[in-house]
């Protein structure tokens, strides 16, 4: 049983035609289901959890990265399959998962190539994509064995499923997260470049003397201590053949 979660942003008039095509294609493929429309004061988590309790087995986010994040927050049961039909901009995760835009995504959904993926966790908040913090200088204890600290404020990225020209795509099925720290080099009269540290890990405890903000899949978390770990095979996600990771 499918539940389609329409984000507020896709309920505009400009998406009316595309949504209609999507609904027709889903009916043709025999995978039409219940539709839940998100709105400003409607709690997405409660709405989705209620439907899961009523027997929904696949929850499909129709929208962008933020819609998928709302769905993943709500779906805590690893047996429930999560998917996305990307519509509009800000759809980096769908691209990495190999899911095409708009109506073409219906066929990917129908093919049902389901992959068990790791989730990242920052102080208990799960994420699929990335957690970032800028201009910070925390002490990071990795695997309880060694501490890593930059000598000057740096940018930190915790990558689960993320793509970059320098590092390729982090694999969300390898049972590890990737700690990437960009420390500015001090060089006179030369364009500043970053020295980049990369550590694959399963657990890091970050402690900062000053309060710092981490953005976990775009959502701000403030504090001085961040417990970051991988939750192996926590999510079942529909992917396409063109997915970007190994």
Partner 1 sequence: MTKHSGEETIIAHGVRVEGDFVSQGNVIIEGDVQGTIQTAGDLRIGDEAKITADVTAANATVSGEIRGNIQVSGKLELLPSSKIIGDITADVLSIGAGAQINGKITMDGRPVKKEIAV
Which positions touch partner 1 (CB under 8 A)?
141, 143, 145-152, 154, 166-168, 171, 174, 181, 183-185, 195-200
Residue corresponding to tokens 């320098």: 166
Least distance in Å: CB of 235 to partner 1?
Answer: 21
For residue 106, give both structure tokens. 């219906």
Cα-to-chain-centroid distance, residue 90: 12
State which residue, 9 or 197, has the beta carbon closest to partner 1.
Answer: 197
Q: Are 161 and 115 in contact (CB under 8 A)?
A: no
Q: Counting Cβ atoms within 10 Å, is residue 110 exposed (0-12), middle (13-18) or buried (19+)?
A: middle
Least distance in Å: CB of 158 to partner 1?
Answer: 15
Least distance in Å: CB of 139 to partner 1?
Answer: 9
Least distance in Å: CB of 233 to partner 1?
Answer: 19
Task: Report d(CA 246, CA 244) in Å as an integer.
Answer: 7
State which residue, 51 or 171, has the beta carbon closest to partner 1.
Answer: 171
Least distance in Å: CB of 199 to partner 1?
Answer: 5
State which residue, 41 or 146, has the beta carbon closest to partner 1.
Answer: 146
Least distance in Å: CB of 195 to partner 1?
Answer: 4
Going by C-beta distance under 8 Å and a sequence separation of 6 or more, which residues neighbour residue 61?
5, 7, 67, 68, 70, 71, 82, 83, 84, 85
CA neighbor of 120 nearest in space, from 232, 237, 212: 232
Q: Are 166 and 217 in contact (CB under 8 A)?
A: no
CA neighbor of 103 nearest in space, from 27, 9, 23, 12: 23
State which residue, 11 or 197, has the beta carbon closest to partner 1.
Answer: 197
Going by C-beta distance under 8 Å and a sequence separation of 6 or more, which residues neighbour residue 175?
118, 202, 230, 232, 233
State which residue, 54 or 152, has the beta carbon closest to partner 1.
Answer: 152
State which residue, 187 or 210, has the beta carbon closest to partner 1.
Answer: 187
């Amino acid at each position: 049983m499918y539940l389609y979660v329409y984000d507020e942003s896709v309920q505009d008039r400009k998406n009316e035609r595309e949504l209609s095509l999507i609904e027709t294609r889903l009916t043709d493929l025999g995978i039409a289901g219940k539709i839940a429309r998100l709105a400003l004061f409607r709690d997405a988590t409660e709405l989705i959890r209620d439907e899961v309790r009523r027997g929904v087995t696949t929850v499909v986010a129709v929208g962008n990265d933020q819609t998928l994040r709302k769905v993943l927050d709500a779906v805590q049961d690893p047996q429930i399959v999560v998917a996305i039909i990307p519509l509009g901009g800000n759809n980096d995760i769908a691209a990495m998962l190999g899911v095409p835009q708009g109506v073409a995504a219906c066929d990917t959904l129908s093919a049902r190539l389901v992959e068990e993926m790791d989730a990242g966790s920052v102080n208990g908040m799960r994420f699929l994509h990335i957690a970032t913090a800028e201009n910070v200088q925390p002490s990071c204890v990795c695997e309880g064995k060694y501490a890593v600290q930059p000598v000057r404020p740096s940018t930190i990225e915790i990558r689960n499923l993320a793509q970059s020209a320098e590092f390729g795509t982090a694999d969300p099925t390898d049972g590890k997260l990737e700690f990437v720290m960009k420390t500015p080099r001090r060089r006179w009269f030369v364009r500043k470049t970053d020295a980049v540290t990369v550590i694959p890990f399963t657990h890091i405890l970050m402690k900062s003397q000053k309060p710092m903000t981490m953005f976990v899949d775009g959502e701000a978390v403030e504090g001085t201590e961040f417990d970051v770990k991988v939750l192996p095979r926590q999510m079942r996600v529909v992917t396409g053949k063109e997915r970007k990771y190994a």
